[in-house]
């Protein structure tokens, strides 16, 4: 197509005279406007001709030649200079001096908004006509003038003109995303001379960039733009990467919510990483960007980071961690989620980033025990997944300062073992022509095994933890084993001393005992011995051990723990010797004291060795001061025990060595004033009177805190349990039983549970109060229920009564008629707590009476239990009911069992049903034990019937 005839429609009258001889400051504006009008008419005529050519030639790319497009492009540059730039605000678009070699200054818009709006509307109309006439022309012009199209679009929007908005959007659709992002980024940057673009332009560019970002593959376009600008290694540039993360984290105003926006961005990250191999260098670059994005989001939108990223990556492992901590013997296979492989790969790639700690959060660190438990090098484990999990585990432990404490908690806490097994090959022969299928994650089996036996579980976890330490942290293995050793020593002594205090802890209510019963001092001793062997092996090998201050501090802390715990042990002996007139050390305590004495002897020598190293490490002086304080405490507590003949001379020698060490260090030991050897009885009596008065004052004060009242009640319980006759008589003289009875109605559970325990201890001390407790329980049953606490009180009181009868033994038969009738009646009440407590109490009193005297109630009880076993919805009641049946069968004689006859057969059938089909594991366990008791009873009955008395007469 020729362009020569297009100018024919332009008359000579419309031609513009030369302005080179006139004043440029006064005529430039008019001249530019006139030239823009001429070019506008030419472009409109050209657009009309191009549209008419479409009817003849369908292929738009053949209408114009490249030469014609080049001519139009050069002329369009002049149209931009005359029709657009004069009406742009300062800082908008590319300046005239950057477009032309002869233009040095260009007069801009003078503030007439109406003229600005009209001129730009004319120019946009021409642009829409020209760009819409031919696709080839539009594509070529967009590559060169996309910045100007965007500027005029945003400028008109700021002026309130929306007529051409849709037409310009249609034109910009043909522009590539890379070019569009580059243009928008350039418009936002300050111009030469530090001219900052207007705020409205920055907002408009940001809104369009955000709309591109949330589109399909929008994030990929942004990454490609930054790669073009910064090079292939731009992700290693931390400032640039941070700027990128801030840009995509900032929520645009057009977004419906910040959560939806961040979810879209994170979904695009997942899609990019899912299409790449985790070991590919490009995927590692994307992982760095993801880490920066999550880091920025965690600072400004912490809630979104948890819901969008960490829920996706960690939620499955958190559910697995909860299942791992369930104390059940059931073996369970867990289905892997659909996004398991992608999420695992993302975790794996983030774990390989050394310079970022974005994953170091409480949620991630809480899963370290799960990753430790999964670690296994056996052949049946899936190698691909295990390799990634081992990297994640190494990353999680690397950023933990107290690795030893964390690993020790993992070793000691019981849990179910988690295993990730290889897929089973179902077909070993490959058919000819069959496509080889890749292994899928669905084929992998994740199995959560049942809870192990305590000893085996600790041994397995200890061995696994040792392998991890030696494989991944060999350089600091000695320090880690020392940390575990310090935790184990502290736990060992704590658990050993807690056994002594347990004998005076509440025994009739369980809620006051908040101690962790899963830990055992033997397990702590095993861990201590194992770590000691590992440290000796490391030191003998000369690898992995450095005489650093950190390790010396750990040694001193171990010494401090041993000395303090030994001092507590000796202090307990000292208190007992002063409390009782006759006191003798048991054989077990003697063995423990011998071990402690040898250990303390080693500790004193170790402190002396550390003294020489203290000169090289000044920071050890503070820790050494604490150690000497512990040595002083040890010497003071051990001084009284040296007088015992049972302890021998070894303890005295250790105490002497400790005193010599304090003298060498010039440590000022503050001597305690010696007490009189013989104390007068009035002083003792006065001390007892003061203690009793304080106890009574605390219980009678209505405004006393509940914690203080509960502690006082526990103190009273210990007085009666340890048979401190003088104090007990004083308390009974002050009617302590009635005072404690009133506290049962206290609103605080800590107080009324401690009161129930205290009443039971008083009844065990003096049996005459047992009847009063029974009467109190009768009154609680007859009282109208006002709140849930009343039900809990009744239930706990019933259970405590049963435990009291167990302690009394066969004497309980005196109260059997009264108690059995009451418990049998309350077994039919609505509250499950009452029904369960009645079953437990009846079982306790039957055991205490050894089955005697229950014949008259046995039929009624078993009839009631038959309906409860299968019909009751509460698993708590079913447990107690099945256990009561077991106690009845276990305690009754064979004569009574023969009388039961067919009912016993019906009970066995129902208990067997429970054993097979009940949902609750504890119910099934009780049912299994009950069936075993039934089998044993049947054998006893058969043996008794088969054996008969034979008289032999000799003649």
pLDDT value at 73 more than 50: yes
pLDDT tens for 574-589 read 776 666 655 666 676 7
Q: Mind spelling out the 3-state secondary structure of 202-249?
A: HHHHHHHHHHHHCCCCHHHHHHHHHHHHHCCCHHHCHHHHHHHHHHHH
Band of pLDDT at residue 269, cut at 50, 70 and 90: very high
Q: What is the pLDDT of residue 355?
A: 59
The values of phi and psi at residue 195, to 5°, are -85, 120
Q: What is the pLDDT of residue 265?
A: 92
Distance CA 368, CA 566 (A): 34
Question: 38: which residues sit within 8 A by CB, 6+ positions away?
Answer: 10, 14, 15, 16
Distance CA 468, CA 465 (A): 5
Q: What is the pLDDT of residue 428?
A: 47
Question: 814: which residues sit within 8 A by CB, 6+ positions away?
Answer: none
Least confident residue range of 49-53, 252-256, 516-520, 786-790: 516-520
Instruction: Report the chain's mean pLDDT, rounded to a whole number.
Output: 79
> For the chain, what percent of residues have pLDDT higher than 70?
80
Distance CA 802, CA 885 (A): 16
pLDDT value at 676 more than 50: no
Question: 345: which residues sit within 8 A by CB, 6+ positions away?
Answer: 273, 274, 278, 388
User: In this predicted model, which residue has the larger pLDDT, 544 or 637?
Assistant: 637
Q: Which of 32, 33, 155 is nearest to 92 (CA)?
A: 155
Distance CA 150, CA 164 (A): 12
User: In this predicted model, which residue has the larger pLDDT, 440 or 822?
Assistant: 822
Structural tokens at position 463: 């061995």
User: Once rounded to an integer, what is the mean pLDDT over residues 706-732?
Assistant: 86
Structural tokens at position 126: 């021409």
CA 66 to chain centre: 65
Q: What is the pLDDT of residue 267?
A: 92
Q: What is the pLDDT of residue 35?
A: 79
pLDDT value at 443 more than 70: no
Distance CA 726, CA 279 (A): 78
Distance CA 757, CA 519 (A): 25
Which SS3 state, helix, strand or coil, does residue 328 take? coil
User: Once rounded to an integer, what is the mean pLDDT over residues 374-385?
Assistant: 76
User: What is the torsional sign of CA 203, 205, 211, 217?
Assistant: negative
Residue 694, H or E segment: helix 681-700
pLDDT tens for 848-863 read 888 787 777 777 777 7
The values of phi and psi at residue 277, to 5°, are -80, 140
User: Once rounded to an integer, what is the mean pLDDT over residues 131-157?
Assistant: 85
Between vectors from CA 326 to CA 485 and to CA 876, what angle results, nearest 5°? 130
Q: What is the pLDDT of residue 440?
A: 52
Helices (H), 275-367: 281-300, 302-304, 311-324, 340-351, 362-365
User: In this predicted model, which residue has the larger pLDDT, 672 or 629?
Assistant: 629
Through-space distance between the first and last CA atoms of the chain, rounded to whole angstroms: 149
Q: Cα separations (Å) of 459 from 273, 529, 952?
A: 40, 12, 62
Q: What is the pLDDT of residue 260?
A: 92
Q: Which of 306, 396, 291 is nearest to 349 (CA)?
A: 291
Distance CA 579, CA 723 (A): 12
Distance CA 699, CA 744 (A): 12
Distance CA 772, CA 676 (A): 44
Band of pLDDT at residue 12, cut at 50, 70 and 90: very low
Least confident residue range of 247-261, 332-346, 542-556, 819-833: 542-556
Structural tokens at position 406: 């964390």
User: In this predicted model, which residue has the larger pLDDT, 872 or 697?
Assistant: 697
Q: Can you give the residue ranges of every domain in the chain?
A: 4-175, 301-424+442-496, 497-664
pTM value? Answer: 0.66
pLDDT tens for 879-934 read 888 888 888 878 776 666 666 666 777 778 888 888 888 888 888 888 888 888 88
Total residue length of the chain: 955
User: In this predicted model, which residue has the larger pLDDT, 511 or 283?
Assistant: 283
Helices (H), 542-619: 549-579, 587-613
DSSP assignment string, 507-559: SS-STT--S-TT--HHHHHHHHHHHHHHHHHHHHHTSS----HHHHHHHHHHH
Question: 42: which residues sit within 8 A by CB, 6+ positions away?
Answer: 6, 7, 10, 75
Q: What is the pLDDT of residue 792?
A: 85
If 0-12 CB within 10 Å is exposed, 13-18 middle and 19+ buried, where does residue 421 land? middle
Q: Cα separations (Å) of 784 from 522, 787, 835?
A: 50, 9, 17
Q: What is the pLDDT of residue 26?
A: 44
pLDDT value at 268 more than 80: yes
If 0-12 CB within 10 Å is exposed, 13-18 middle and 19+ buried, where does residue 569 land? buried
Q: Which of 404, 418, 371 is nearest to 557 (CA)?
A: 404
pLDDT value at 288 more than 50: yes
Q: Which of 574, 702, 725, 563 is nearest to 630 (CA)?
A: 563
Which SS3 state, helix, strand or coil, does residue 191 take? strand
If 0-12 CB within 10 Å is exposed, 13-18 middle and 19+ buried, where does residue 625 land? exposed
pLDDT value at 315 more than 70: yes
Helices (H), 809-831: 816-826
Distance CA 260, CA 266 (A): 10
The values of phi and psi at residue 264, to 5°, are -65, -45
pLDDT tens for 459-485 read 999 999 999 998 888 888 888 888 888
Distance CA 462, CA 485 (A): 12
pLDDT tens for 396-430 read 888 788 888 889 999 988 888 888 887 665 444 55
Band of pLDDT at residue 261, cut at 50, 70 and 90: very high
User: In this predicted model, which residue has the larger pLDDT, 188 or 674?
Assistant: 188
């Amino acid at each position: 197509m020729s362009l020569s005839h297009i100018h024919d429609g332009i008359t000579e009258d419309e031609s513009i005279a030369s302005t080179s001889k006139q004043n440029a400051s006064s005529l430039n504006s008019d001249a530019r406007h006139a030239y823009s009008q001429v070019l506008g008419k030419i472009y409109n005529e050209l657009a009309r001709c191009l549209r008419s050519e479409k009817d003849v030639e369908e292929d738009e790319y053949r209408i114009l030649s490249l030469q014609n497009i080049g001519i139009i492009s050069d002329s369009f540059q002049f149209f931009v200079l005359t029709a657009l730039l004069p009406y742009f605000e300062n800082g908008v678009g590319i300046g005239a001096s950057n477009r032309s070699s002869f233009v040095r200054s260009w007069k801009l818009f003078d503030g007439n908004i109406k003229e600005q709006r009209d001129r730009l509307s004319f120019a946009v109309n021409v642009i829409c006509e020209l760009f819409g006439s031919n696709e080839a022309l539009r594509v070529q012009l967009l590559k060169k003038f996309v910045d100007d199209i965007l500027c005029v679009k945003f400028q008109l929007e700021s002026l309130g003109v929306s007529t051409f908005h849709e037409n310009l959007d249609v034109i910009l659709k043909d522009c590539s995303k890379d070019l569009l992002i580059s243009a928008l980024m350039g418009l936002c940057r300050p111009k030469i001379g530090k001219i900052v673009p207007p705020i409205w332009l920055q907002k408009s560019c940001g809104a369009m960039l955000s709309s591109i970002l949330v589109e399909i593959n929008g994030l990929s376009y942004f990454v490609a733009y930054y790669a073009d600008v910064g090079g292939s290694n731009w992700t290693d540039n931390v400032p640039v990467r941070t700027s990128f993360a801030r840009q995509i984290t900032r929520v645009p105003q057009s977004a419906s919510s910040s959560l939806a926006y961040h979810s879209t961005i994170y979904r695009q990250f997942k899609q990019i990483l899912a299409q790449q191999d985790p070991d590919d260098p490009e995927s590692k670059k994307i992982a760095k960007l993801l880490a920066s994005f999550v880091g920025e989001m965690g600072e400004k939108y912490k809630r979104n980071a948890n819901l969008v990223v960490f829920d996706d990556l960690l939620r499955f492992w958190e559910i697995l961690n909860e299942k791992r901590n369930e104390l059940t013997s059931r073996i369970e296979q867990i289905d892997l989620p659909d996004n398991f492989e992608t999420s695992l790969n993302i975790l794996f790639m983030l774990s390989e980033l050394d310079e970022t700690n974005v994953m170091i959060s409480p949620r991630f660190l809480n899963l370290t025990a799960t990753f430790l438990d999964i670690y296994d090098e056996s052949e049946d484990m899936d190698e691909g997944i295990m390799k990634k999990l081992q990297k994640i585990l190494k990353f999680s432990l690397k950023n933990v300062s107290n690795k030893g404490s964390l690993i020790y908690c993992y070793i000691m806490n019981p849990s179910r073992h988690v295993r990730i097994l290889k897929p089973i090959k179902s077909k070993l022969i490959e058919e000819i022509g069959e496509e080889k299928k890749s292994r899928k994650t669905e084929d992998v089996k994740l199995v959560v095994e049942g809870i192990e036996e305590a000893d085996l579980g600790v041994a397995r976890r200890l061995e696994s933890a040792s392998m991890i330490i030696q494989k991944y942290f060999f350089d600091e293995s000695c320090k880690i084993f020392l940390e575990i050793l310090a935790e184990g020593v502290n736990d060992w002594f704590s658990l050993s001393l807690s056994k002594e205090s347990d004998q005076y802890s509440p025994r009739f209510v369980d809620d006051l005992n908040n101690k962790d019963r899963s830990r055992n001092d033997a397990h702590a001793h095993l861990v201590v011995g194992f770590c000691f062997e590992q440290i000796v092996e490391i030191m003998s090998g000369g690898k992995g051990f450095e005489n650093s201050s950190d390790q010396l501090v750990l040694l001193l802390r171990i010494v401090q723990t041993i000395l303090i715990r030994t001092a507590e042990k000796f202090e307990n002996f000292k208190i007992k010797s002063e409390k009782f007139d006759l006191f003798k050390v048991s054989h077990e305590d003697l063995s423990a004291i011998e071990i402690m004495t040898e250990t303390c002897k080693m500790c004193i020598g170790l402190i002396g060795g550390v003294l020489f190293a203290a000169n090289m490490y000044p920071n050890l002086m503070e820790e050494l001061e604490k150690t000497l304080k512990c040595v002083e405490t040890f010497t003071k507590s051990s001084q009284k025990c040296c007088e015992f003949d049972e302890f021998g001379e070894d303890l005295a020698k250790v105490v002497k060595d400790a005193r010599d060490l304090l003298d060498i260090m010039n440590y000022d030991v503050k001597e305690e004033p010696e007490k009189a050897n013989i104390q007068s009885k009035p002083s003792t009596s006065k001390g007892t009177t003061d203690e009793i008065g304080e106890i009574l004052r605390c219980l009678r004060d209505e405004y006393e805190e509940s914690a203080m009242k509960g502690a006082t009640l526990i103190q009273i319980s210990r007085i009666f349990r340890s048979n401190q006759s003088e104090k007990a008589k004083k308390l009974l003289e002050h009617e302590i039983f009635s005072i404690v009875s009133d506290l049962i109605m206290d609103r605080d559970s800590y107080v009324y549970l401690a009161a129930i325990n205290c009443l039971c201890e008083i009844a065990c001390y003096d049996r005459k109060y047992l009847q009063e407790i029974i009467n109190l329980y009768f009154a609680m049953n007859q009282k109208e229920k006002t709140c849930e606490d009343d039900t809990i009180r009744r239930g706990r009181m019933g259970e405590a009564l049963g435990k009291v009868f167990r302690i009394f033994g066969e004497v309980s038969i005196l109260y059997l008629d009264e108690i059995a009738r009451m418990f049998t009646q309350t077994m039919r009440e609505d509250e499950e707590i009452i029904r369960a407590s009645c079953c437990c109490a009846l079982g306790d009193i039957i055991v205490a009476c050894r089955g005697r005297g229950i014949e008259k109630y046995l039929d009624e009880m078993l009839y009631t239990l038959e309906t409860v076993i299968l019909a009751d919805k509460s698993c708590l009641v079913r447990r107690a009911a099945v256990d009561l049946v077991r106690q009845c069968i276990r305690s009754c004689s064979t004569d009574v069992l023969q009388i039961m006859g067919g009912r016993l057969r019906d009970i066995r059938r129902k208990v067997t049903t429970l054993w097979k089909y009940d949902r609750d594991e504890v119910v099934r366990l009780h049912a299994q034990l009950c069936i075993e008791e039934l089998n044993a009873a049947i054998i006893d009955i058969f043996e008794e019937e088969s054996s008969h008395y034979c008289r032999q007469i000799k003649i």
